[in-house]
Amino acid sequence: MEKNKSKVIIVGSMAFDNIKTHKSSVKNVLGGSASYSSIAASFFAKPKVIAVVGSDFTKKHIKPFHDRGVDTSGIEVRDGKTFTWAAEYDKDFKNATTISTDLNVFADFAPALKPADTQPEALFLANISPKLQLDVLKQVKKPRLIACDTMNLWIKNNKAQLLKLLKSIDIVFVNEAESRQLTGIYNLIKAGKAILKMGPKVVVIKLGPNGALLLTKDAMFQVPPFLIEEPVDTTGAGDSFGGGFVGYLASVKNWNNIKHIKKALAYGTVLASFAIESFSIKKLAQVKPQDIKKRFEIYSKSCRF
């Protein structure tokens, strides 16, 4: 951790979130797929964020990324307001009801990579439309590792583009509902195997409070969550998981070794556990490498018999 700083390009959203839970609520806190995933990846690699924000996105909002060594030079600042999302969670955090989504400057986002960014070690296409993900994919030159995340909206409205994307990537992250929506198959193991046939080498099905299920053509296993007694906000847990997963694999030579993939699952799980202990990226950005190491050791022991 922190030694091999392989370059990882992360393309996604940076946003302001308004979150309400059964215990508390916050307004205009930093969120977005690129925010969580880049902070998580920074513990293993050198992430550079490609995103767009409004003129209301200040130096105060950039500081946590600089403090973690995240390259923010790919963040485009436009006149207008930053993408804003508002949601309310149920008591057990299993479901978030979206109250409003204001795309603002994100509505016209067209990620353009600089020449120096076209040959990263790894590319993480975080949760944005498959069209934008495909546009970015055309701009890079054979990264060792390409991963993507998606969501129910894109599966519903942009399935053809998503299927095209899946033919060209190594790892895809979906949750259980998305895996069923994408394949039409309820059984998660069968759904995962069906997604493998669509192109990716690794399928990770995020199971929320039940951990994650991973499938390759030669292996299949499920890991439990790292148990947190009092989660504060589960927004960004999946993005933190993905960022930690990709960041760790980018830091090793043979990322497709199953031992490394299993370890990436564990690190992704640990990073997600920190993310849910606060609103926004607050806890995740304050974590120290030794905190991750300690929690990783606890988690590893809990998975042994």
Instruction: Spell out the domain ranges in the chain.
Output: 7-299
pLDDT score, position 303: 87
**Per-residue pLDDT tens for 82-139?**
999 999 999 888 788 999 999 999 999 999 999 999 999 999 999 999 999 999 999 9
**Per-residue pLDDT tens for 151-161?**
999 999 999 99
Class of domain 7-299: alpha beta
pLDDT score, position 1: 59
Per the CB < 8 A criterion, the answer to whether 272 and 241 are in contact is yes
Supply the DSSP symbol for 17: E
Rounded Cα distance, 220 and 223, in Å: 10
Rounded Cα distance, 126 and 68, in Å: 19
Rounded Cα distance, 103 and 80, in Å: 11
pLDDT score, position 149: 97
Closest to 299 measured CA to CA, from 235, 212, 230: 212
Amino acid at 71: D
| Mean per-residue pLDDT, 60-70 | 96
- Is pLDDT above 80 for 2? no
pLDDT grade for 5, boundaries at 50, 70 and 90: confident
CA–CA distances in Å: residue 6 to residues 47, 108, 203, 253? 8, 30, 23, 10
pLDDT score, position 305: 78
